[in-house]
Amino acid sequence: MQFGVFSVSDVTTDPTTGRTPSEAERIKDVVTIAKKAEEVGLDVFALGEHHNPPFFSSSPTTTLGYIAGQTERLQLSTATTLITTNDPVKIAEDFAMLQHLAGGRVDLMMGRGNTGPVYPWFGKDIREGIPLAIENYALLRRLWDSDVVDWEGRFRTPLRGFTSTPRPLDGVAPFVWHGSIRSPEIAEQAAYYGDGFFHNHIFWPAEHTKRMVEFYRRRFEHYGHGAADQAIVGLGGQVFMRKNSQDAVDEFRPYFDNAPVYGHGPSLEDFSRETPLTVGSPQQVIERTLGFRDYVGDYQRQLFLVDHAGLPLKTVLEQLDILGEEVVPVLRKEFAALKPAHVPDAPTHESLVAAKGATDPRVYAPADDVTGQAPEEAA
């Protein structure tokens, strides 16, 4: 099972000091957080994509490419990549580039984005969110899986004889997760392609997660990708830990009470009961996290949110230390002991290449723009 962290990439005032970090500071910090994640033995770092303040992460592949250059093992992912407002051609190109530079340590998670005004800024309409996600992803698959693509759809200009470059590393596209909180259409899409399904699992009651994952597993089996319990499931989670439970609650409460998304609403205690948020000792986090399995089954990826709501970098790095030293080693052992042998791990570049066989990724297009010649003529 993979463990990691994901960042929403918010720039938020620290409510305990009144200090707001600059974008420059947060961007540097997120790189530090990713490197720390690898150092403490976590497997995955995932970064969000936003196109409006107070978020800084408009261009995840730039950041992830930089992180790739400074890490060895860490799997790089997104949470999420906007399949609605991005041109699928640009997604295909950007992530294939990243895949080559990162030596295959790349996957990505598709999301629709829920901020209405962002859509028209990119020439789209939020009311078309689902059809955009369906059509754009269908095109993205074609661009990665076929060397030469002819395409015509509702949402972008047609493509004739188009080759997305570079071709995916070893001819194998990055693994894709689809994230959605409550749209069955997206779980259906993930199941149809045999891709992974990720549930945000923070900010929302576990009941949403349970129903979506059940539905995805059932449809994954329906489409013939394997048994329902072999479907690839990822979950989010939000934790804050200190050795003593009450210290964690006291320290996190001002961040909780003023947080974007849920601040100034329910109490920390109410929200911890209603959602998977866990604030307490490492042991409490271990127990709560193991309990996720009770309603989603054996799953492949657990990402924690640890760097939002204005928490200072020092605190975030301490949280990563606790995760790496005390929490994840126990979770790894316990989850592994519970998981039946026929349940697969999350796909990686190596496992996908092993399953498919590496293919020569060079393109044999009929002609190229530079010489105007077909490769066989040029030879």
Token readout for 219 is: 């449809």
Q: Whole-number minimum distance, CB 301 to other proteins, in Å? A: 23
268 binds other proteins (CB under 8 A): no
54 preceded by cis ω (within 30°)? Answer: yes
Q: DSSP of 172-237, one letter per residue? A: -PPEEEEE-SS-HHHHHHHHHHT-EEEE--SSS-HHHHHHHHHHHHHHHHHTTSS-GGGS-EEE--
Q: Which position has the token pair 């044999």?
A: 364
| CB burial of residue 344 (10 Å; 0-12, 13-18, 19+) | middle
Residue from 39, 87, 185, 257 touching other proteins (CB under 8 A): that is: 185
| Listed ranges 49-57, 187-195, 302-310, 334-342: which one lies at the site for other proteins (CB under 8 A) | 187-195
Interacting stretch for other proteins, rule CB under 8 A, among 51-59, 189-197, 309-317, 361-369? 189-197
Minimum separation from the CB atom of position 71 to other proteins (A): 35
CB atoms within 10 A of CB 81: 25
Residue positions counted in the chain: 379
Q: Does 184 bind other proteins (CB under 8 A)?
A: yes
Instruction: Considering only the stretches 33-41, 161-169, 266-274, 355-363, report the one whose residues sit in contact with other proteins under the rule CB under 8 A.
Output: 266-274
What residues numbered 291-330 form the site for other proteins, per CB under 8 A?
Answer: none
Angle between helices 23-39 and 313-322 (to 10 degrees): 20
Site membership for other proteins, residue 270 (CB under 8 A): yes
- Footprint on residues 194-213 left by other proteins (CB under 8 A): 203-205, 208, 211
Q: x/- string (CB under 8 A) for other proteins, residues 135-174?
A: x--x--------------xxx-------------------
Among 41, 131, 194, 226, binds other proteins (CB under 8 A): 131
Radius of gyration for the chain, computed over Cα atoms and rounded to the nearest angstrom: 21
CA distance 88 to 94: 10
Whose Cβ is closer to other proteins: residue 23's or residue 274's?
274
Contact 178, 153 (CB under 8 A): no
Per CB under 8 A, residues contacting other proteins are 130-131, 134-135, 138, 153-155, 182, 184-185, 188-189, 191-192, 203-205, 208, 211, 215, 223, 261-266, 270-271, 273-274
